[in-house]
Amino acid sequence: MNNAYILVSATCRNNVDCRFVGEDMYIDIRVQNNTHGDLALPLAYLKARGPIIRLIDRKTEREVYTRPNLADPALMAQLVTLRPSESAQLEWVITAFELQQFDPIAVDIDAEVSIQSGGRFNDEPVEVNGKDIIHISDRKERE
């Protein structure tokens, strides 16, 4: 769910189908200004902390959250302004261990990638949030 301020889209880097091959998955997250005005966000803080990622096993519906990094709270004050339709790119890694925790043989997971933050729109404080879901599965033939 994206609110009126941002659109979030997530993709697996160099891996259009998000196929898990036993290695860490590199994720590119695009945060786009979805307004008709300037939107200021603490991008350095968001890059340091990372997104909120909820991993959901499609077979059992069990879910866990990955751990974000600890980030210096002072970075929250370093706002970067995105003009209408401009976007910023964040990078993240979902480790192979995190992906294999439900089933080490057959990975079939939805990764809900969320960005939540304070920001400023028209010089007023706002809360922004957005998310996207990517499906990550393995390449192994199922017997």
Residue 14 counted as domain residue: yes
Can you give the residue range of the structural domain that contains 112?
Answer: 6-138
Cβ atoms of 8 and 132 closer than 8 Å: yes
H helix or E strand, kind and range, residue 50:
none
Give residue 55's pLDDT: 98
Q: What is the pTM of this model?
A: 0.90
Distance CA 29, CA 32 (A): 10
Residue 143 counted as domain residue: no
Does residue 13 carry a pLDDT above 60? yes
Q: Confidence class of residue 123 from pLDDT cuts 50, 70 and 90?
A: confident
Residue 10 counted as domain residue: yes
| Average pLDDT score over residue span 88-103 | 96
| Average pLDDT score over residue span 79-103 | 96
- DSSP notation for 58-127: TTT--EEEPPPPP--GGGGG--EEE-TT-EEEEEEEE-HHHHHSS-SSS-EEEEEEEEEEEEEETTEEEE
Distance CA 29, CA 52 (A): 11
Q: What is the CATH number of the domain that holds 115?
A: 2.60.40
Give residue 116's pLDDT: 95
**Number of domains making up the chain:** 1
Average pLDDT of the residues of the chain: 93
Instruction: Supply the DSSP symbol for 17.
Output: T
Nearest-CA neighbor of 119 among 80, 92, 89, 84? 80
Q: Confidence class of residue 4 from pLDDT cuts 50, 70 and 90?
A: confident
Residue 1 counted as domain residue: no
Q: Confidence class of residue 78 from pLDDT cuts 50, 70 and 90?
A: very high
Which residues are 136's β-sheet partners?
Answer: 109
Residue 40 counted as domain residue: yes
Residue 120 counted as domain residue: yes
